[in-house]
Chains A and B, each alone.
Chain A
């Protein structure tokens, strides 16, 4: 069974950094497109970043240059290093596995981890 479980969320001060992790089971993150999506409190879904099976990455303009998506094959995890955090980054962060056929939608989602940026 495919499962995703995020961790690493918490309270961080403005300008600070935080690293999120997503543990995958039932499949290999290396062979999949993997994505981070976030949802600010009371708001809609926002795509954040994707890492393709070949290792290339893409980012939303709102996080480009501050966030880094990566994966660890030995642990079968997806990570998100978040730097220079601001209040606008406060959100629940979800990891998701893209569909295996086209990569254009998100087949499985984790339960999410909450990041609060506040002094």
Chain B
């Protein structure tokens, strides 16, 4: 079961700003491990969107931004576009016994 909790869905009109929360614990975010985000478009493999809290790989628009504070993290999408409609997952490393790499529960972003 996922140890990182995300809202099941968020929605917004084109051009709006939406945020996705990711709640962790003392064994992952609270232990200093970074948050990373992936975008999964319908029927495709996940793609790295944000790494080490707030860094974008080459080619990812600056409309996407990330942050982390304490045991929580968030992903913001500004200027929402139709092509942003996808599932988004946060991910971290967990130092508790046998947890290793952990994913969030996933959030479906719908563009109205």
Interface size class of A (residues with CB under 8 A): 20 to 34
Q: Is the CB of A47 within 8 A of B102?
A: yes
A–B pairs, 24, beta carbons within 8 Å: A37-B46, A37-B103, A44-B2, A44-B89, A44-B106, A45-B38, A45-B103, A50-B100, A60-B98, A60-B100, A104-B34, A104-B92, A104-B93, A104-B101, A105-B48, A105-B51, A105-B52, A105-B91, A106-B36, A106-B38, A107-B57, A109-B47, A109-B48, A112-B45
A35 within 8 A of B: yes
**Which B residues lie within 8 Å of A106 (CB)?**
36, 38, 46, 48, 91
Q: Is the CB of A105 within 8 A of B106?
A: no
B101's partner among A44, A47, A108 (CB-CB below 8 A) is A47
Which residues of B line the A interface, CB within 8 A? 2, 33-34, 36, 38, 44-48, 51-52, 57, 89, 91-93, 98, 100-106
Given A44-B2, A104-B34, is A109 in contact with B45 using a C-beta cutoff of 8 Å? yes
Q: In whole angstroms, how far apart are the Cα atoms of A105 and B36 in the complex?
A: 7
Beyond contacts A44-B103, A45-B46: 6 other A-B pairs, Cβ-Cβ < 8 A, are A37-B103, A45-B103, A45-B106, A106-B36, A106-B48, A111-B44
Q: In whole angstroms, how far apart are the Cα atoms of A60 and B97 in the complex?
A: 11
Q: In whole angstroms, how far apart are the Cα atoms of A112 and B101 in the complex?
A: 19
Cβ distance B85 to chain A, nearest Cβ, rounded Å:
17
**Which B residues lie within 8 Å of A46 (CB)?**
103
